[in-house]
Every structure is written in C-alpha cells, then in structure tokens.
Amino acid sequence: MRAWREHFRPVSPAAMRIALLGIVLMGFLVRLWPLDFQSLWRDEVDVLRFAVRPLPELLRDLTRAEHNGPLYYVLMRGWLELAGSSEFALRFVSLCGGVLSIALVWGVAHPLIGRRAALLATLLAALSPYLVWYAQDAKMYAALTALILLALWCAARAVQRGRALWWGAFVLAASLALYIHLLAALMIPLYALLPLTWSSMRGRWQYWLIALGMLTLPYLPLALWQLPLLVHPHPTGHAFTPLPEMLTLLLALHTRGVALVGDWPVLTTFLFAVLLGIFVPSAQARTEDGAGGRARLFLALWSFLPVVLLFAVTLRIPLFQPRYLIFTLPPFLMLAARGIVALARMTRAVTLALLAVVLAFSLLGIWVQSTIPLKSDFRAAAAFVAQRYQAGEPIMFQVPYVRYVFDYYFPLAHPTLEGPWTNDGKSAESVAQLLRETTKGYTTLWLVASESWLWDERDLTRAWLRENAVLLDTGSFARVEVYHYRLD
C-alpha cells in the first residue's frame, strides 16, 4: 500500500505540461491520420452546398426558422474559399475543433476534479472514439463541443481572476455556440448554475449576473425566429425517442463509439467509473477550487440535464439525434477519470484492469473507424457507376437528397430522376404510374439507394423495377446499393 501511495506524490508542473502536450499531440495524430478515410455522407455535403451560397443569402439564414447552425456555414464559406472543397479541407475545421477540445478538457477539469484526474480525463478525450469520429466529420459538432468547453474555461478564469476580459470571452464563446448549433441553448441553465460550483464566486455575483444577461440577449433573436416551430409543430424527420432509449443510446455511443465495440465490458467499466466519480468523496476535504461535492454535482448535471431538457422538447417536436448532445460527453469522461483516480487509492490491481479495458477498447474503436467504411460509401458507389456509365443514362436516387453527395464524387453529367415518395401511403398502382412517367423515353436506368426506408419503406420502387426491367449489374457498398437496369 505504501508503494502504491508513492504514485500519488505531487507531480511537478513541468512533468504535467509535458504529459499534457504529449496527450494533445497524440489526439491530433489519431484524428489527422484517417481524416479522409470515410466517404462524405449527405449531412457533410450540406456544409459545401450551404457555404458556397451568396453571402447575403447565408446571412438571411440567421433569421430563418429550421436553419440550424447558420453561423457555421458563414465561417466555413471563408475557409473553403481559402482551402478548397476537398474531403480533407471540409473536415479540417472539425479536426482543429476536436484537438482544441482535448486541451480544453484539461482546462475545465483540473479546477473541478484535480490535476491527476484532469490529466486522465484529457487522455480519455484524446482517445474517445466518439469525439474522434466527429473530429473527422465536416459538420459543426466538434466546433460546438470546443466552444462550450471554451465558454466554461473562460468562466472559470473569470471567477479566478475577476477580470472583465474573461467575462466577455465567456459571453462571446457561449453566444457563438448558440449560433453554431441551436441546441447549445440547453447549456444556458447550466451556465446559470456555475456560481454554485465555485466558492470563490463570493463577491462576484453581480458580474456573473451581468454576463448571464448578456448571454441571453444573443439568444433572444434565435428564440423568436424558432418560436413558430414550437407553436406550429410539423414533421421533422426524427422519430420520437423515449427518455430511457435516449440515455441508453448515448451511453453506448459515448463509451463504445459509432462502431459500438466492446459491448458490456466497456459499458459496465465506464458506468462503474462514473458512479465512483459522482459518489466517492475526494481523498482531500476539498478540491483545488474548494468545491468538491458541488463540482461533482455540476459535472453530473452537465452530463444528464441537457438530455432531460431535450426530451422535454421532443415531447412537442421530435428532434433527438445523439450527435446533437455530443457536448455532454466531456463531463462524462471527467467523472469517469475522477472515479478511476479515486479507485486507485483503494486498489491497484482493479484500477489497472479497469483502465486497461477502457483504453484498449477506445483504441479498438478508433482503429475500426479508421479502417472499415462505416459512413455511406458514395465514393465507392460513384466510382462503380463511373466505370460502367454510358452517356445519357438517367440516375434515379432513392432518397433524392443523396444525389448531392453522389454528384460530389461522380465526374460526369447525367439526367437525374427522383425516386417517388411512397411513405405517404401511395398505392402500388399510383407508384407504378409515377415510375412509368418518370422513366418514359429511357432504355436503361441506374438506381442509387441509400437509407431508402426513409422515402420508400415498402420498397415499391424496387418491386416495380423487378417486374418491368432487367437487372444488368449491381454493386453493394456501405449503406449504399447501386442497380443498373434495362427497361422493358
């Protein structure tokens, strides 16, 4: 026991800085190496489609209902003009946001859970398969996470130093997050609770109230512009998800990544560590900031309160997608790290086994994401069609929206046909009539199908083609199917 306690002797600031730099560098490398391995999927191509529009039109999106993340596309417009529209360029901004988030995990965590646990939380963030995945995605989720962490770090600096500059930086970062993604608003109640986390807030309440008031002002226009959606809800394309399913799915993705490696060993290990992180008191009476129990409560609320708030919204408008709540993963990792460090004070063998499971499956998840196509592989599908395409052949898309990501990779001009929308209850006869009219005058047809159940759950289009066309060739790729027909 005495030998084990020696591992908890104070670590020099220089050694801590070297370890932190090494972790951030490692996180950068695991995000950079396979940045363009996965094909772009339909949401990523939206970044290119929206960002290249005229600037006045982009700015008008800031005031339109249903436009999520309008500021992100404005910012990406400038970047794409500079860097081009390659897969690497589209995703590089997310890479930067992901790496910044690693460093900010340390900045936010160490006043709350101590330096050792914060360093471990930083390592877990660097090797989190889920955070790595969205650092390699062109959408705004890595930037959203970084901005929320930046806002909290600035808030901590403001409390520690009491300077107006840090209060202003907090307001700026939190406001930018709101215009990067609407659901950053779920953090506002947590920002309001921050004074309860730090005992050093005494005497600075008035500054905090001013900062919080200034934060809500930028959100008021967004709230007013989105109000019609709450008053007059309409189909959003998302199914209603009960709260237990939301929590279960988030837990699986946050611990196992999108490849869902590891199953119960990873889930139980993380849950055990998080529960320890929440409920085991610090070995010291107080943390470095003097708010041990309150800090743990804040991290627990940050992990779970946004989920509950989003569930309340979905009772009116179904909106849940796990990636929308990616900013709840850093506090989850902080609690897990704190739990592992707390366990290390009790038993060395169990701690090493637990940490080995977490790190081994994290690395496995990253390897799977970096070597196996998991996103819709339109890159391979477009190459397959291009090798066999004859000039003038029409290409039908089911669902029609995927044409944009297909055309990103497809080098040839082609007639475009939309697969019929059948999920509104159309009869097989009416679908057949639509397809006869759509394909009239063509002797061959390419069908590119991806997530077709969203558009044609009963597969009526394929059924009609089986009866009225001859299948010439077919290709199967990750989440994409390609068929080449000769029409009768």
Mean pLDDT throughout 457-470?
97
CA angle, corner 67, sides to 419 and 214, nearest 5? Answer: 165
pLDDT of res. 219: 64
42-51, 192-201, 277-286, 464-473: which is most confident: 464-473
Q: Over 90: is that where the pLDDT of 459 sits?
A: yes
Coil, strand or helix: which one is 321? coil
- Strand 480-487 with 395-398, pairing: unpaired
Q: Residue 189 has which token pair?
A: 């109640």
pLDDT of res. 290: 40
CB 36 within 8 A of CB 138: no
Q: Over 80: is that where the pLDDT of 3 sits?
A: no
Mean pLDDT throughout 230-238?
61
Cis peptide before 399 (omega within 30 of 0): yes
As a whole number, the mean pLDDT across the chain is 90
pLDDT of res. 341: 94
pLDDT of res. 4: 46
Model confidence pLDDT, tens digit, residues 381-406: 999 999 999 999 999 999 999 999 99
Q: Over 60: is that where the pLDDT of 450 sits?
A: yes
How far apart CA 193 and CA 155 sit, in angstroms, is: 12
Contacts of 346 (CB under 8 A, 6+ apart): none
How far apart CA 302 and CA 304 sit, in angstroms, is: 6
Mean pLDDT throughout 209-228?
68
Model confidence pLDDT, tens digit, residues 130-148: 999 999 999 999 999 999 9
Given pLDDT bands bounded at 50, 70 and 90, which one contains residue 469? very high
Residue with tokens 């490696």: 261
Model confidence pLDDT, tens digit, residues 417-434: 999 999 999 999 999 999
Can you spell out the DSSP letters for 150-195? Answer: HHHHHHHHHHHH--HHHHHHHHHHHHHHHHH-GGGGGGHHHHHHGG
One-letter amino acid identity for 314? Answer: T
Given pLDDT bands bounded at 50, 70 and 90, which one contains residue 1? very low
Coil, strand or helix: which one is 444? strand
CA angle, corner 424, sides to 423 and 427, nearest 5? Answer: 90
How far apart CA 171 and CA 194 sit, in angstroms, is: 14
Q: Over 80: is that where the pLDDT of 370 sits?
A: yes
HSE toward the beta carbon, residue 301, CA cutoff 13 A: 17
How far apart CA 94 and CA 96 sit, in angstroms, is: 5
Q: Helix, strand, coil proportions of the chain in percent (round to 5)?
A: 70, 5, 25
Mean pLDDT throughout 10-28?
91
Using a pLDDT cut of 70, give the percent of the chain over it: 89
Q: Over 60: is that where the pLDDT of 7 sits?
A: no
* 197 or 28, which is more confident: 28
pLDDT of res. 287: 45
Number of residues written out for the chain: 488
Nearest C-alpha neighbor of 340 from the set 84, 122, 76: 122
pLDDT of res. 226: 59
Model confidence pLDDT, tens digit, residues 269-291: 999 999 999 999 875 434 444 44
Partnered with residue 476 across adjacent β-strands are 481
CB 222 within 8 A of CB 181: no
Q: Over 60: is that where the pLDDT of 62 sits?
A: yes
Q: Over 60: is that where the pLDDT of 311 sits?
A: yes
pLDDT of res. 199: 64
pLDDT of res. 72: 94
Mean pLDDT throughout 242-257?
97
Nearest C-alpha neighbor of 275 from the set 384, 206, 199, 354: 354
Q: Over 90: is that where the pLDDT of 233 sits?
A: no
Determine which helix (DSSP H) or strand (DSSP E) holds 244, and give its type and residue range.
helix 243-256
How far apart CA 87 and CA 45 sit, in angstroms, is: 10
Mean pLDDT throughout 368-375?
96
Contacts of 418 (CB under 8 A, 6+ apart): 396, 397, 400, 438
How far apart CA 205 and CA 192 sit, in angstroms, is: 11
CB 428 within 8 A of CB 447: no
Mean pLDDT throughout 453-469?
96
One-letter amino acid identity for 33? Answer: W
Nearest C-alpha neighbor of 162 from the set 111, 207, 214: 207
Given pLDDT bands bounded at 50, 70 and 90, which one contains residue 197? confident
Mean pLDDT throughout 62-66?
63
Given pLDDT bands bounded at 50, 70 and 90, which one contains residue 218? low
pLDDT of res. 220: 67
Q: Over 70: is that where the pLDDT of 438 sits?
A: yes
Contacts of 390 (CB under 8 A, 6+ apart): 444
pLDDT of res. 396: 99
Cα–Cα distances in Å, from 380 out to 10, 39, 470, 475, 478?
53, 8, 23, 9, 9
Model confidence pLDDT, tens digit, residues 318-354: 889 999 999 999 999 999 999 999 999 889 999 999 9
Given pLDDT bands bounded at 50, 70 and 90, which one contains residue 232? low
- Strand 416-418 with 480-487, pairing: unpaired
How far apart CA 480 and CA 94 sit, in angstroms, is: 25
Q: Over 90: is that where the pLDDT of 297 sits?
A: yes
Q: Please tell me the pTM assigned to this model.
A: 0.92
pLDDT of res. 284: 47
